[in-house]
């Protein structure tokens, strides 16, 4: 689905991916990131956030916490990361990004509270009193008083399966007082996820009930005399939704796919952000008249209804329709070893490059990631190749 926006708006990324792969500089099973485009996207979102008066924390998990991407985002004006887990904390810290927010989506495990406190996060989300007390103890031991965000929930709120949890939103005033009473901690605000969500039927980004829950909780806190409350409202964030979030009271946004032009709406409309990532594979062998390409990062986001997956298959740089082939991606029940190319017209050969456009979550795959500069203006400069945890990978071996 994201291959067409790439072909229209950033064809040189596809052509460069083929060039780099065919010359042995880029391995199969690699997400290639256009760092210049990502930097420009960050600058767009940063500018929209500054106009709206909201803080911006970059979500980097989709791009495997890649250090080259982190550097590009910092050049674009976003210098703090939201860490989805402690692996994000470590990778983003190694890359030089400060930690603006942690603990949300994934709570900090008990034994890692000290490590979390040591990076001095600006905000730390907790789902319950026990986790708040862990954060307070660890922060006190580190000589700090930690700003805590309370994850809240109310009946009717929307959560992905397995993402549930949080304080009762109806009790937010007493929750704030309880967090303030913890040594080493203070109540700073509230959060949820998702605040915005792509609606496949209307093909639009819509607020979830969670956003109204945040608004009601913020109103209750204000009536209780609380001022300057932080409202963290992540979910499907691009420059086009910043004003709407700010009007709803949000003080913090956390773009992820917006930074690479791969939110669901980017697949359907010409949003300001440029598509900035392509997945690179290679034809391995043939069976039953069909070609097989290497997997490892074949990620079909379940946010969309089923759709026909296509790829560019070629040994020469091209984005022409004549190089397009349909690809069958095995279901999750089969390990992601290969994609199956139905390409009677393309006539692929072993070793041909296969380029996909995905909305990736590279941190849950075994794909590699690499950044490239100079796509638009040259010269081409390939940044160090890394794994999904941001560790450099020697290539070629």
- Helix residue spans in 53-163 (DSSP H): 67-75, 86-94, 113-118, 129-141
CATH number for the domain harbouring residue 142: 3.20.20.10
CA atoms within 13 A on the CB side of 41: 29
Q: Is residue 56 part of a domain?
A: yes
Q: At 203, is the pLDDT very low, low, confident or very high (cuts 50, 70, 90)?
A: confident
Among 257, 289, 322, residue at a domain's last position: 257
For residue 52, the tally of other CB atoms under 10 A from its CB is: 17
pLDDT of residue 306: 84
Answer yes or no: do 21 and 156 share one domain.
Answer: no
Question: Is pLDDT above 80 for 333?
Answer: yes
240, 268, 314 from 15: Cα distances, Å: 29, 22, 10
Each residue's pLDDT tens digit, 239-274: 999 999 999 999 999 999 999 999 999 988 999 999
**pLDDT tens, 344-366?**
777 899 999 999 999 999 999 99
Contact 305, 200 (CB under 8 A): yes
- pLDDT recorded at residue 225: 97
pLDDT at 230 over 80: yes
**Interval 278-305: pLDDT, tens:** 999 999 999 988 999 999 999 988 777 7
Instruction: Identify whether residues 295 and 229 lie together within a single domain.
Output: no
pTM of the model: 0.96
The answer to whether residue 280 is domain-embedded is yes
- From 234, 257, 280, the end of a domain falls on 257
On whether both 39 and 165 belong to a single domain, the answer is yes
d(CA 148, CA 139): 11
Give whole-number Cα distances, 269 to 102, 221, 239, 274, 333, in Å: 32, 38, 13, 11, 32
Where among 212, 231, 257 does a domain terminate? 257
Residues 194 and 281 in one domain: no
In a domain, 263, yes or no: no
Residues 218 and 332 in one domain: no
| Containing structural domain, residue 96 | 35-257
Same domain, yes or no: 104 and 7? no
Cα 151 to Cα 232: distance, rounded to the nearest angstrom = 9
Share of the chain above pLDDT 90, in %: 90
Say whether both 181 and 39 belong to one domain: yes
pLDDT of residue 31: 98
Domain count, the chain: 2
CATH of the domain at 313: 2.40.37.30
Same domain? For 71 and 198 the reply is: yes
Neighbours of 107 (CB within 10 A): 20
- Nearest of 16, 43, 4 to residue 255 by alpha carbon: 43
pLDDT at 392: 95
- 58 and 39 Cβ atoms separated by less than 8 Å: no
For residue 303, what pLDDT is reported?
Answer: 76
pLDDT digits (tens, 9 = 90+) for 124-171: 999 999 999 999 999 999 999 999 999 999 999 999 999 999 999 999
The verdict on whether omega for the bond into residue 379 sits within 30 degrees of 0, i.e. cis, is: yes
Distance from C-alpha of 177 to C-alpha of 187, rounded to nearest angstrom: 7
Q: Are 311 and 354 in contact (CB under 8 A)?
A: yes
Domain check: are 8 and 72 in the same one? no
């Amino acid at each position: 689905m994201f291959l067409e926006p790439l072909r229209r708006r950033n064809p040189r990324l596809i052509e460069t991916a083929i060039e780099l792969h065919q010359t042995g500089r880029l391995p199969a099973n690699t997400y290639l990131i256009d760092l210049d485009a990502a930097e420009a996207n960050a600058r767009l979102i940063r500018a929209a956030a500054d106009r709206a008066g909201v803080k911006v924390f970059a979500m980097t998990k989709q791009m495997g916490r890649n250090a080259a991407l982190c550097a590009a985002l910092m050049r674009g004006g976003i210098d703090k990361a939201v860490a989805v887990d402690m692996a994000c904390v470590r990778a983003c810290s190694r890359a030089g990004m400060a930690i603006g927010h942690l603990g949300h989506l994934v709570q900090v495990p008990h034994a890692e509270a000290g490590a979390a406190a040591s990076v001095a996060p600006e905000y730390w989300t907790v789902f319950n009193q026990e986790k708040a007390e862990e954060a307070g103890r660890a922060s006190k031991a580190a000589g700090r008083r930690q700003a805590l965000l309370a994850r809240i929930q109310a009946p009717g709120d929307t959560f992905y399966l397995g993402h549930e949890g949080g304080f009762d939103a109806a009790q937010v005033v007493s929750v704030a007082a309880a967090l303030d009473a913890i040594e080493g901690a203070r109540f700073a605000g509230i959060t949820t996820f998702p605040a915005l969500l792509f609606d496949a039927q209307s093909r639009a980004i819509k607020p979830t009930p969670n956003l109204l829950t945040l608004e009601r909780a913020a109103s209750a806190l204000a009536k209780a005399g609380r001022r300057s409350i932080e409202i963290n409202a992540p979910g499907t964030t691009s420059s086009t939704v910043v004003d709407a979030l700010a009007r709803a009271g949000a003080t913090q946004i956390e773009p992820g796919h917006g930074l690479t032009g791969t939110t669901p709406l980017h697949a359907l409309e010409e949003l300001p952000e440029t598509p900035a990532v392509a997945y690179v594979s290679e034809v391995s062998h043939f069976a039953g008249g069909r070609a097989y390409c290497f997997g490892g990062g074949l990620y079909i986001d379940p946010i969309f209804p089923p759709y026909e997956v296509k790829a560019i298959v070629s040994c020469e740089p091209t984005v022409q329709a004549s190089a397009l082939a349909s690809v069958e991606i095995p279901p999750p029940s089969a390990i992601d070893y290969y994609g199956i190319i139905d390409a009677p017209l393309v006539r692929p050969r072993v070793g041909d490059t296969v380029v996909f456009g995905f909305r990736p979550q590279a941190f849950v795959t075994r794909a590699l990631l690499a950044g490239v500069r100079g796509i638009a203006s040259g010269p081409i400069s390939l940044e160090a190749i890394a794994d999904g945890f941001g560790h450099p990978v020697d290539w070629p071996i």
